[in-house]
Amino acid sequence: MTGSDHDSLAGGLAALAVDAPAGLLDRVVARWVRVDAPIGAVYVASTDHGVAYLRTGTGEEEFVGAFRRRFGRPLLPADRPPAGLIPALRTGRRADLRLDLRGLSSFESDVLHAAMTIPRGEMRPYSWVAREIGRPRAVRAVGTALGNNPVPLLIPCHRVIRADGAIGQYVFGARAKETLLRAEDVNLEEVGDLAARNVHFVASDTTGVVCLPTCRDARRITTAHRRDFAVMSRAVAAGYRPCEHCRPAALS
């Protein structure tokens, strides 16, 4: 928001015949802050409904301009970050942090809500997201929706990868995606090695459960009791049941 925009808005409110209702300004404008995140400084915009936009950038003007082009709403500096933002960026867990996802299509909203269910330290293929939302053929559209994520880091689209085990694209670049995944203790080398051997599902012959490789339950399987599968149907045919945590049946 330019200085003249700010002055015009403030002047308009000051010219009201009666005092403006409490909180009126925050229902008209959004607020921005610059805070530190695992990939460096980020700019974050919030409305009275919650955090609406998060981006890296070279400065305030770039961020403010991008926000106004996307949302068509004035943006003013905030006195402090929204409650819960700093812990959410540090831990990857949103807790009580509110998000403002208005303006998304129903498909985009479904995709992002599916991405929200992926736990810290785990990854899911784009095709998993597509099947989770009941649109198994919309894999490419899922990628587009994730690329349009208004609040990366807070909605963990970095945890969605390609079916071949490659980490794939990311709004902040592949290097940032790798940094985030490694910070969550994802063993990218192991995932890559398994994918190179056409292993996309791992099962335990002690529990009879088959998982995706980064599932928290898969990481408990010892080498002696692990059985590898290229496709889910073969694991099911061998008598293994899908993990209820990572839900690999979404890929069958």
Contacts of 207 (CB under 8 A, 6+ apart): 217
SS3 for 195-221 is HHCCCCEEEECCCCEEECCCCCCHHHC
What phi and psi, each to the nearest 5 degrees, are found at residue 91?
-105, -15
Whether 157 is a known active-site residue: answer yes
Q: Token pair of 2, please?
A: 């330019």
CA atoms within 13 A on the CB side of 2: 3
Nearest to 218 by CA among 134, 147, 119, 143: 119
- Report which DSSP code applies to 185: T
Return d(Cα 10, Cα 76) in angstroms, integer: 11
The pairing of strands 241-242 and 160-161 is: unpaired
Whether 159 and 181 have beta carbons less than 8 Å apart is answered as yes
Annotated catalytic residues are 157
